[in-house]
Structure 1
């Protein structure tokens, strides 16, 4: 699952992993160290390569610099792509909800936070980042199928095609 922060990637990934009885990998848990310290890029790529080599998984996270490792091993790429205002509202809500409790998709020592740079990233994701997903998909060999979910109704319809646990 890829898409803007607040697009619903983690929530949807959790549900898909549950329905398909597959391991769920939140890439944020592998990239960030306590205090929001970023991992060494080479170490992170090696870790992602190892995870992607596993026989089956549901993976949640953007990390465009690792799409070349993940896409050839994926059967399906799900792009969560709701409107940016909805994404902004969701990240603000998420910050409020997790003001005192840690999120399960983040590592220990990385409390939910919002700053102006992050809000700008969410706002500009459709114009500055989404095209990189399509570019990586175009060169992936083999190329996984793509499902693009823009609205809640799209998510509901797509989930209805999956088995239930």
Structure 2
């Protein structure tokens, strides 16, 4: 099962809930895409795709995250898709709350600590509205 949606829409929380209820493995793409114990430093594209493809090779999983570079193969293996949507202002509010106050959240990077980053604010404010249309079309 794939869960897509904008940043801070609850994808990881929902993936964990479904995984617990259905006995599935929860796979968080942010964790696969970034190196542990860093400040969200990305892996190489090839390494990320290899980790992604290994995860979808399993029989029973629920995966949260977008990462369109891997969507075709993920969609071929998935038996279900959930598209979450929250408004851009709500997404920004949740981002600030998560970065400033929450610890131990679902899908967090091992050894990392969320912090407010201009690049993430820009991503949520500019790219999320564009991606909303793209994901709906998919």
- Matched with 1:27 is 29
- CA distance, structure 2, for counterparts of residue 119 and residue 79 of structure 1: 21
- Per the alignment, residue 109 of structure 1 pairs with 111
Q: How far, CA to CA, are the matches of 1:31 and 1:126 in structure 2?
A: 18
Correspondence for 1:120: 122
TM score, norm. by length of structure 2? 0.86
**Does residue 93 of structure 1 match 2:119?**
no
For 1:111-155, what per-residue CA distance to the aligned partner results, in whole angstroms no more than 9, with x for missing partners?
1122222112112344322333345x3xxxxxxxxxxxxxxxxxx
User: Conserved in 2, the CA contact under 8 Å of 1:10 and 1:60?
Assistant: yes
Note if contact 2:88-2:129 (Cα within 8 Å) is conserved in structure 1: no
Runs of 4+ in 1 over 6 A off after TM superposition: none
TM-score when normalising by structure 1: 0.73
Structure 2 unmatched runs, 5+ = none
CA distance in 2: counterparts of 1:55 and 1:126, whole angstroms: 31
Partner of 1:160: none
**Which structure has the larger Rg over C-alpha atoms?**
1
Backbone CA RMSD of aligned residues: 1.7
- Is the CA contact (8 Å cut-off) linking 1:4 and 1:125 kept in structure 2? no
Matched, 1:62 2:66: yes
Query: 2 CA distance for matches of 1:133 and 1:16?
Result: 21
Count residues in correspondence: 134
CA contact (8 A) 2:19 2:26 kept: yes
